Structure 1
């Protein structure tokens, strides 16, 4: 992976030296400056492979650190700014982080890289990168304890090759980076893939706040100024973007050709409204354990209701309803655990339809009601999350065998409105009560999309409940 990406970067620096590679606000880094940055900091980073943490809320600085560490053959570990202090401490300790680029309260050695603006000009092509770079991606999954996923060069190379064929990036692309660089998906598809093509990556620092309920106006402004061709969103951010465009009577830039969305189930109603506003949204599916992308609806080969075709080079089979992935994108393993060999059982339920993958929910989240009904909670939750005021929701079977739903609110919603949003569901899948939690509650929203389900039981005990009445029309199974 590093040879191909950095060889391409060297060619871009020689052939289009002043073309913008990375941009954030008034900072603009050309390909020639980016190459000089890598060479200059390779001197600082020379030596045997070490484990470096990257701790910054500035996405451009995070991207630069990631590129420098990868070029120099080290192990990079992003310390997500949205992790709690205890989660960050667990990450640093379990990964064996020796040095931090950025700021941290942990007792580790700090390192400051020479910024591109201060690096001497490069007059020769880039040397080949140091082989063996790896990255540890911490994902909390369905629990609050982050797990370190070890991704090597071979996994990154395979994911990039598959995405390159599915997305067909070109040098004229402008990728608007809205997800945190700490997320593997943004690293692969939002940083390395555009740079491989000689495209521009435009960062929006305000997107992190928007992801957790902050204002959306800066994202709409970034879209208007950058005129992007591609971007990546999670459903909650898509819902809020749709609402902002609708409220301000704004149409999405005509330059957009692909917005990939994943991380949680997306409501068909939300996808339809996004399309009406000029947002070319295409669902995909993946997980960090398989280098983030397994399947994707490409710009010219999309089908609603599916997550698209499996990437080239990746193999997927369905075993007793479960999605099982094999091939070169499967992780090396979790740190501190035995290496992974062969297949990876995702824990997700799915099926194929005319060659396209349909994801039906998490196997271990399946709710079996006392009446014997099987309910995938994401199906019910997506009905609520079509409303931009509800960035996430969690369906829960309470100890009294009653279904209830925790609605995470970015703006006030009445119980009657919850009832209306659920009205198209069959009666057996409709919760009998709702509880409301604020989107500002620390750790409740996951940046990859959805709610932290490890908190549902506690929220059910703590929050007041409101009954939901339903029309007793005949249930449609």
Structure 2
């Protein structure tokens, strides 16, 4: 993180009054940002070594992140999209006794926790001291089942990732990044805070746009792209699909200010990627995971190939072991909190293959379905086709215990005929086609993670307990139509 603080000091010295970050409530220049970071870091002098961050996002979050890092402490985000039970687990697992928050009442039932207000105290302190290093952050992943696990990321991982991504993305001071994903996620910390600081670029936060990720109307997100005219942004596939559909409905194309829109966190259907480009979105698919500091491979500007997540980042060695993606290099995590150090080569649990030097993701190893006939099916292969429809928020394919039939759980934003599902799956071989479908609300408790991917354990329960609708085959649909 030393290069980030060196860049911040450089901006303060050479362009102090240039705007660095904007959110819904305020604007900070590079000089303002430095003052606030130093102020909060000084107030953390007597705080415990581990500090939680209980902020939804925006400039206050940026200040908190940088201040905790500058103070040499370990920071632990408490995601606003996690359940109370999940955040209670984080507080206990990370042994957090101090939290940065705007609302102290959130912790009124926990008197042992000190609440630190990130608001500027008004004291003009000294200039920013040199970062001494050694700070870590613990990013809790929601995982596919069980309690969240804390991924420990330090300077080595972040510095290597930032160096590779800065070179890959071509970021400059003329960029304007629209930050959509929550800052509690490592990927948006990198893309929404650190890369812009390194480049001297401006970052914009608009929470109404972020709320679209959780099912709120898409209009504020589309409008924000037009009013703010960013050059870069980062989206989840489910949000991309809704944005594309909204642009198509408006008969509009994305603003031509955009030069780089990254999408990751889940598989993107090739048809959706093609539709995105047709409405002027310069889409670049990538792949990564928190355990490898968020990004492993990414399509480069001007060299994006649909259906792939691009070449591996510089400095990383990716090998396939029985089809599983493994990663060795400086971005591999320190380890899980309260666990053993990470091995030199990390087994990701993801299946993939290479087309030339470009990585293609085939799905999760632990999600692989084995039918009664002995066929192996990656559910993502089937789900991609469904998720390309903007009316569908997410889907999950699974096997029903009672009869071994393939059943598809579909979370829809609006009603959808079963015939539409059947047509979307028409090109699949018969062994991979589900026989039934279960429609659910996107707000189904526990079903969806923030990036829109399904919790397969919850989907499995739904498959075994909910009534399903038969999914007609294409021949039946065509005979009925005639």
Shorter-chain TM-score range: over 0.9
Q: Distance in 1 between matches of 2:122 and 2:276?
A: 43
Match of residue 139, structure 2, among 129, 137, 154: 137
Judge conservation of contact 1:217–1:244 (CA < 8 Å) in 2.
yes
Match of 1:388 in 2: 390
Q: Distance in 1 between matches of 2:408 and 2:59?
A: 38
Judge conservation of contact 1:212–1:445 (CA < 8 Å) in 2.
no
The yes-or-no answer on 1:434 pairing with 2:431 is no
Q: CA deviation at 1:425?
A: 1.8
Match of residue 252, structure 1, among 251, 254, 260: 254
TM-score (norm 2): 0.94
The yes-or-no answer on 1:413 pairing with 2:383 is no
Match of 2:465 in 1: 462
Q: Distance in 2 between matches of 1:16 and 1:119?
A: 22
Q: Distance in 2 between matches of 1:237 and 1:71?
A: 34
Match of 1:189 in 2: 191
Q: CA deviation at 1:294?
A: 0.2
Q: Distance in 1 between matches of 2:70 and 2:223?
A: 33
Match of residue 119, structure 2, among 115, 119, 126: 115
Judge conservation of contact 1:7–1:126 (CA < 8 Å) in 2.
no
CA RMSD after TM alignment: 1.7
The yes-or-no answer on 1:422 pairing with 2:425 is yes
Q: Distance in 2 between matches of 1:285 and 1:10?
A: 32
Q: Distance in 2 between matches of 1:58 and 1:463?
A: 37
Judge conservation of contact 1:59–1:180 (CA < 8 Å) in 2.
no
Task: State the secondary structure of the residue aligned to 1:300.
Answer: coil
Judge conservation of contact 1:381–1:395 (CA < 8 Å) in 2.
yes
* Match runs of 1:194-209 below 5 Å: 194-209=196-211
**Structure 1 unaligned blocks of 5 or more:** none
Q: Distance in 1 between matches of 2:41 and 2:267?
A: 42
The yes-or-no answer on 1:323 pairing with 2:322 is no
Q: Distance in 2 between matches of 1:299 and 1:449?
A: 25
Match of 1:174 in 2: 176
**CA displacement, residues 434-475 of structure 1 (integer Å, 9 cap, x when unaligned):** 0011012233211133111120122113322100011369xx
Judge conservation of contact 2:63–2:118 (CA < 8 Å) in 1.
no
Q: CA deviation at 1:48?
A: 7.4
Match of 1:161 in 2: 163
Q: Distance in 2 between matches of 1:50 and 1:448?
A: 30
**Structure 2 unaligned blocks of 5 or more:** 477-482
TM-score (norm 1): 0.95
**CA displacement, residues 94-142 of structure 1 (integer Å, 9 cap, x when unaligned):** 01111111143462424334535x64557x7521024211100011221
Task: State the secondary structure of the residue aligned to 1:206.
Answer: helix
Judge conservation of contact 1:84–1:443 (CA < 8 Å) in 2.
no
Task: State the secondary structure of the residue aligned to 2:473.
Answer: coil
Q: CA deviation at 1:63?
A: 2.2
Match of 1:64 in 2: 63
Match of 2:216 in 1: 214
Equivalent pairs counted in the alignment come to 470
Q: CA deviation at 1:257?
A: 0.6
The yes-or-no answer on 1:338 pairing with 2:321 is no
Task: State the secondary structure of the residue aligned to 2:464.
Answer: helix
Q: Distance in 2 between matches of 1:443 and 1:221?
A: 30
Match of residue 231, structure 1, among 218, 230, 233: 233
Judge conservation of contact 1:33–1:121 (CA < 8 Å) in 2.
no
Task: State the secondary structure of the residue aligned to 1:254.
Answer: coil
Match of 2:26 in 1: 27
* Match runs of 1:270-419 below 5 Å: 270-399=272-401, 400-419=403-422
Moved more, 209-218 or 176-185: 209-218
Judge conservation of contact 1:333–1:339 (CA < 8 Å) in 2.
yes
Q: CA deviation at 1:299?
A: 0.8
Match of 2:45 in 1: 46
Judge conservation of contact 1:137–1:150 (CA < 8 Å) in 2.
yes
Q: CA deviation at 1:226?
A: 1.2
Match of 1:36 in 2: 35
Judge conservation of contact 2:100–2:118 (CA < 8 Å) in 1.
no
Judge conservation of contact 1:437–1:463 (CA < 8 Å) in 2.
no
Q: Distance in 1 between matches of 2:68 and 2:287?
A: 28
Q: Distance in 2 between matches of 1:305 and 1:470?
A: 27
Q: CA deviation at 1:47?
A: 4.8
Match of 2:54 in 1: 55
Q: Distance in 2 between matches of 1:188 and 1:160?
A: 7
